[in-house]
Amino acid sequence: RIAVIYRPERLRGNDLNIDFRIGVFDIISGRTDDLALPPLPSDCSPKPSGITELARLPNGALGFIFFCHGRGLSGTMYVWDNSKNSFIKLQNLPNFLPRSFSFSPNMSQFIVENGKGDGLNNELYLVDSEKTIKQVVQGFKRAGSPAWSPDGTIIAFAGTKEYPGDSDITTWDDIESQLYHPWDIYVMDTDLRNVRI
């Protein structure tokens, strides 16, 4: 089976009420069924705000982030519960513009990207088994696209170190220049130490 995010109708003009859905396509039968989504908070605007980063998790379940534009940016991580045949809330991500994420193989923790600054200052955060959120990898201009190794020993991510003059943003040219700073691939141990290119 294949799960996809889709909209049943084309976006028209400035219509921001985009009806995002998750459909599951059965390759054998050729049938597509929608999964029941949790309701978004009533103060999200536009409504619904959207689904992002639909992924198969290490335990075989589906996971995704519902993001809400309302009282500041926020997101909520949901995972599919086979026993209840529905999505359950795993973690609120307040004041986040949630992007890519990666779970540890045993599903006890995950790293999620906060896309603050429209790509200029993306940060990575670890959500542990106690649901505590803490920033990881200091000293980077931006970091994103985390990936946990299947054996659980290493975390990889894309990152850009600070460049001289990065704090002097005064023009659009400065912003464009920073957007084109090169990304490198880094790895670190799962205790979040020993970061190396």
pLDDT digits (tens, 9 = 90+) for 12-68: 555 555 568 899 999 999 999 999 888 777 777 655 567 889 999 999 999 999 887
| pTM recorded for the entire structure | 0.82
3-state secondary structure of 133: strand
- pLDDT, tens digit, for every residue of 49-65? 678 899 999 999 999 99
Percent of the chain at pLDDT exceeding 70:
78
> Pick from 86, 84, 91: which is nearest to 67 by CA?
91
Q: Is it the case that residue 71 has pLDDT exceeding 60?
A: no
Residue 168 has what pLDDT?
Answer: 60
pLDDT for the residue 63: 94
Q: Which residue has the higher pLDDT, 154 or 5?
A: 154
Cβ atoms within 10 Å, residue 23 = 14
Higher-scoring residue by pLDDT: 173, 196: 196
pLDDT of 50 reads 78
Distance CA 14, CA 134 (A): 37
Residue type, 57: L
